[in-house]
Structure 1
Amino acid sequence: MLHTHLTLRQLRAFCFVAQEQSMTRAAEKLFLTTSALSMLIRSLEEELGLRLFERTTRRVMLTDAGSELLPTALRTLDQLDSTVRLLQATHLKQGEVLKIATSPLLAASLMPTVISQFRLEFPGVRVELLDVPVADVAEAVRSGQADIGVCTSGQENRDLKSEVIFQDALCVACPEGHALAAMDSVEWSDLVEFPLILLKPGTGLRNLLEKPMQRWAGQLRLEYEVANIHTALGLIGAGLGVSVLPAYSLARADVQGIAARPLTNPQVIREVVTLYAPSKPLPSSAEAFLNRFKKFAAQTPMRT
């Protein structure tokens, strides 16, 4: 008997690349770097001993073997998703309350859509959302105010368990009609021509940017340093500069007139994670919610 050790991550990556015919677009939808996605595809091909894709400079095409695998892979993932939803719907208690602590930015951008989709699948579960400063998310979980926390990584929370929900590639945010909005992607070198709006030093987002900024020290025109992303978006909308922000920050309903373009050379990745206490089992409703969140993130492209 032939034994293979295929993983769901490999199959999901294969299906996204096959459907998008582009490693870059598939990586964006999966919230992975292109190198991480390439490793998944390469490991799948090595496991099978077959080439699944022909790569050209313009797109990625399925080989004959890949074309044979695709229908089965799609069917397998769909059947598994259906089975998981059925199990969760059967075992979740009517009237169960799921308490989630998250940052104001996530609460205003991604959470409304994710909660809405979750409630459609599990109408018997009531969701309580606690929006607190990102530094307080972990404490809300420790104190029992929340069953889970959803926030960006980078905080020291070794007493809590953490799991990556998705990876967010930071983007350049600029006014619609701006010169950068006409580009497919923006490199750091392109930013030196424009006034820059960044979060203040010491914030998690600014800490991520310090290393790539060092290469352009003295050339970047830092015009405004602000305490939160909401302020940065307001300044961008008024035409006062451009910024480097999480792509999901533009998913807020009140964000208008701002375009986002991928930032490259180098790309900067930030993880959004869930936190929960290891001392007690994760509620079934929390597991179902996190599965829904991951699926939403995988299916949602960056706003452009």
Structure 2
Amino acid sequence: MSSQLATSNLSLRQLRAFLAVAQESSMTRAAAKLHLTPSALSMLVRAMEDDLGARLFERTTRRLVLTEAGQQFLPTVERVFEELEQGLSRLHAAQHMKDSLLRLVATPLLASALFPQLIASFRLQHPQVRVELLDGPVDSLPALVRQGHVDMAVCTANDDSVDLLATPLYADTLMLACHTSHPLAEQREVAWQDLLSEPLILLRHGSGLRTLVDQAFARWSRRIQPAYEVSQVATALGLVAAGEGVSVLPSYAISRAQALSPVSAIATLALVTPTVSRQIVALTKSGAEISPAAQAFMEHFKKHAGKA
């Protein structure tokens, strides 16, 4: 701590008085803002100037103007109150999160591929929060939010939950998964049209992922005849690893599978023309207050989802 700071008698009350006068350029208006008399406010500012050994305001008959010293000091005081406000907000949120319960639901793919690491890293930062995780079909998730069974549902954006608040969390890009020995594996990116003659391993109709894939292929007006239609991403990846075909899957699902099995013979390539992404959102009740724990988890998801 510097000797100047150690011997200073400045108080938050004085700093607040200085900031109010600087903002209002009037002792009368600043005093009303702080619920003080003008004379009491003037004494605070004068004592502050005496303590600093510098004049902070030029006094005229009409208004108060910051001196050069006051202009230099103002940004520092503004930062003090900004950081104080942020610190108090974090403290308030932490107090409200003590022994709180966060109830989450997600689709099975998200729950298995992204959530384990996200929850673990979230709990390291917020050990006082207990987390319950459910997984279920995407069409069942909005009802769980509406009925209050969960605080938040995490799924791909759709039109079936317009009555709920959808907060974007993460944009996931569809990628091509193929065997490392496949000729396409040598390329940096692959166009969708190049897949028309490939044995495709796709999820069954009814899944949001299959809908996106069909839409991407629709521009060539060709009905896709997959070599395999499966219900689980793990099954599709297993068939790809066995060399039975290629698949179009979310990037996070492929990354997670490769992390769990580093020796997997699966190559991942960017799909272009077009690049297809889908928005992962958090569904909460519209108009309802979001708990500090839920808000903290959403921010954590946004920051770390791409690293999970």
Q: Contact conserved, 1:173 with 1:245, CA < 8 A, in 2?
A: yes
TM-score for both structures, normalised by structure 2: 0.65
Partner of 2:307: 300
Which protein is richer in helix relative to its size? Answer: 2
Q: Contact conserved, 2:93 with 2:292, CA < 8 A, in 1?
A: no
Q: How does 1:200-279 map to 2 (within 5 A)?
A: 200-218=204-222, 222-250=226-254, 251-252=256-257, 254=260, 256-279=264-287
- The more displaced of 123-132 and 84-93 is 84-93
Partner of 1:174: 178
| Counterpart Cα distance in 2 of 1:195 and 1:84 | 58
* Backbone CA RMSD of aligned residues: 2.6
| Counterpart Cα distance in 2 of 1:193 and 1:207 | 19
Which whole-Å deviations, capped at 9, do the CAs of 1:14-57 have from their partners, x for residues lacking one?
xxxxxxxxxxxxxxxxxxxxxxxxxxxxxxxxxxxxxxxxxxxx
Partner amino acid for 2:156?
Answer: T
Which whole-Å deviations, capped at 9, do the CAs of 1:145-199 have from their partners, x for residues lacking one?
2100000112411221111111111110112332222211111132134211112
| Counterpart Cα distance in 1 of 2:277 and 2:229 | 21
Q: Contact conserved, 1:135 with 1:155, CA < 8 A, in 2?
A: no
Superposition deviation, residue 232 in structure 1:
1.6
- Cα distance change of structure 1 residues 182 and 221 upon mapping to structure 2, 3 Å threshold: farther
Identity fraction in percent: 40
- Cα distance change of structure 1 residues 178 and 159 upon mapping to structure 2, 3 Å threshold: same
Q: Which runs of 5+ in 1 are unaligned?
A: 1-78
Which whole-Å deviations, capped at 9, do the CAs of 1:77-128 have from their partners, x for residues lacking one?
xx9xx96994476334321110001011011111111111111110100110
Partner amino acid for 2:133?
Answer: L
Superposition deviation, residue 282 in structure 1:
0.8
- Tell me which structure has the larger Cα radius of gyration: 2
- Cα distance change of structure 1 residues 278 and 241 upon mapping to structure 2, 3 Å threshold: same
1:190 aligns with 2:190: no
In the alignment of these two chains, the number of paired residues is 221
Specify the SS of the correspondent of 2:244: coil
Specify the SS of the correspondent of 1:156: helix
Alignment match of 2:167 (pick from 163, 176, 182): 163
1:136 aligns with 2:140: yes
Q: Which runs of 5+ in 2 are unaligned?
A: 1-82
Specify the SS of the correspondent of 2:181: coil
- Cα distance change of structure 1 residues 181 and 288 upon mapping to structure 2, 3 Å threshold: same
